[in-house]
Amino acid sequence: MAQAVMHAFQTDDPRLKPLFEKVLAGIRLSAEDALTLYQSKDILALGWLANHVRERMHGDRAYFNVNRHINPTNVCVAYCRLCAFGRKKDAPGAYTMALEEAWQSAASGYSEAVTEFHIVGGLHPDLPFEYFLDLVSGLKQRFPQVHLKAFTMVEVAFLAKRAKLSIRETLQKLKAAGVDSLPGGGAEIFAERVRHIICDHKIDGSQWLETAHIAHELGLKSNATMLYGHIENDEDRVDHLMKLRALQDETHGFQTFIPLAFHPDNTPLSHLPWTTGFDDIKQIAVSRLTLDNFPHIKSYWQMMTPKIAQISLRFGADDIDGTVVEEKIYHDAGADTPQGLRRQELVRLIKEAGREPIERDTLYRPVTRTETTFTISV
Ligand code: V47
């Protein structure tokens, strides 16, 4: 049997052979191994290994959800060089939704009943903490069946500062108002040298990790991201992955890892090139192979493009995110993907990759639909 498997794995990169042995035996890869993976050009061998792990964990299942993004404001005091979304308060294009407007926007769009609102926005200098508590409790009241995945660790830390509360108290209040889990944004790259340049005014990497730690302690699941393809190097990527893996060993609170390819258009880093398909696919494979304690690796179709996201389902990813409906952060930065995809289009992408589409809720419970209703299996 081992012989047959060995036969199926072929590589012209001798450095990958010992990694093959480790992956097959379920032995954790080291930081050094992760670096070797990044340095290899044998994308098919990396894909074979990542796919092996992906199928060991999930078989043919590939997950998606029916969700809607809500970005209540793009006003932001952080002025990150990586970002094309944030605006100064009085700058052209700056917006802040009144609560009624945010609640209405949640209801608009596709007719398919959403199971998740993904809520993130800028760090607004004046909006009080109560605005966010009211936003969340108002959504919960109007859409009690919808999971609220809201506020990155960066937003939580900013709200805590503004409300003069600890991170723990802030998260407790958000949870009591109706926040069910947290998205993975704002992690960027933890390495200080890079973080200083791409997002100087955000909390640092250790504060991001500490906020996630507290969220997990409070029973709030979260995701984690890594922004790649700008000025970081392979060592920075490995450092980021290892820090996430170490925290996950402690809390088991992360559900999904989402590598995010940098989109340079309209950012102060617009001179940088876009990532290549090779790098995007390799990043998915390395993520699956190194983050052995993360249940899911998401290839976010909005950012990867539907075509790369689909191929990723054979290179380590088991999730392609959801319908989204209205995406702003990537489109401000030059993405030419659609604003949203219908449920049936996601199903088609997955089926054509030879995978079994599983509609999930945010906590990865299967969702079954009739024409007008849906049921979540618990
Ligand atoms: O935190 C901002 C990134 C993130 C750019 O948790 C950029 O399920 C590329 O975190 N080019 C927000 N990336 C998106 C995010 C996310 C997306 C989908 C699913 C989930 C989840 C989370 O987008 C930001 C930042 O890291 N970002 N600007 C840019 N120009």
224 lines ligand 1 (CB under 6 A): no
Residue % of the chain over a pLDDT of 90:
88
At the top level of CATH, which class does the domain 61-376 belong to? alpha beta
Mean pLDDT of 200-208: 96
For ligand 1, atom 24, name the residue with the nearest CA: 185
Each residue of 189-202: pLDDT tens digit? 999 999 999 999 99
Q: Which atom of ligand 1 is nearest to the CA of 225?
A: 10
Ligand 1 centroid vs 6 CA: distance in angstroms? Answer: 38
Residue 40 has pLDDT above 90, yes or no: yes
Residue 110 has pLDDT above 60, yes or no: no
Ligand 1 centroid vs 354 CA: distance in angstroms? Answer: 28
Q: What is residue 15's DSSP assignment? A: G
Q: What pLDDT was estimated at residue 111?
A: 62
Residue identified by tokens 């192979």 is: 289
Each residue of 350-368: pLDDT tens digit? 999 999 999 999 999 999 9
Q: What pLDDT was estimated at residue 109?
A: 64
Mean pLDDT of 148-165: 98
Average pLDDT of the chain, as a whole number: 95
61-65, strands of its sheet edge to edge: 319-322, 61-65, 356-359
Helices (H), the chain: 2-8, 17-25, 31-39, 43-58, 99-107, 129-142, 153-163, 167-177, 192-198, 205-217, 234-251, 277-290, 301-304, 306-312, 329-332, 343-352
The full set of domain ranges for the chain reads 2-57, 61-376
Pocket test for ligand 1, best of 85, 153, 227, 341 (most atoms within 8 A of CB): 227
Ligand 1 centroid vs 371 CA: distance in angstroms? Answer: 32
Each residue of 47-58: pLDDT tens digit? 999 999 999 999
Q: Which atom of ligand 1 is nearest to the CA of 266?
A: 30
Residue 375 has pLDDT above 90, yes or no: no
Q: What pLDDT was estimated at residue 163?
A: 98
Ligand 1 centroid vs 80 CA: distance in angstroms? Answer: 13
Mean pLDDT of 262-279: 97
269 lines ligand 1 (CB under 6 A): no
Mean pLDDT of 284-296: 98
Confidence band of 327 (pLDDT split at 50, 70, 90): confident
Q: What pLDDT was estimated at residue 340?
A: 87
256, 63 contact by CB (below 8 A): no
Confidence band of 2 (pLDDT split at 50, 70, 90): low
For ligand 1, atom 16, name the residue with the nearest CA: 185
Q: What pLDDT was estimated at residue 280?
A: 98
Name 256's bridge partners: 296
Cβ-in-10-Å burial (0-12, 13-18, 19+) of 352 comes to exposed
pTM: 0.96
Residue % of the chain over a pLDDT of 70:
96
Q: What pLDDT was estimated at residue 377?
A: 76
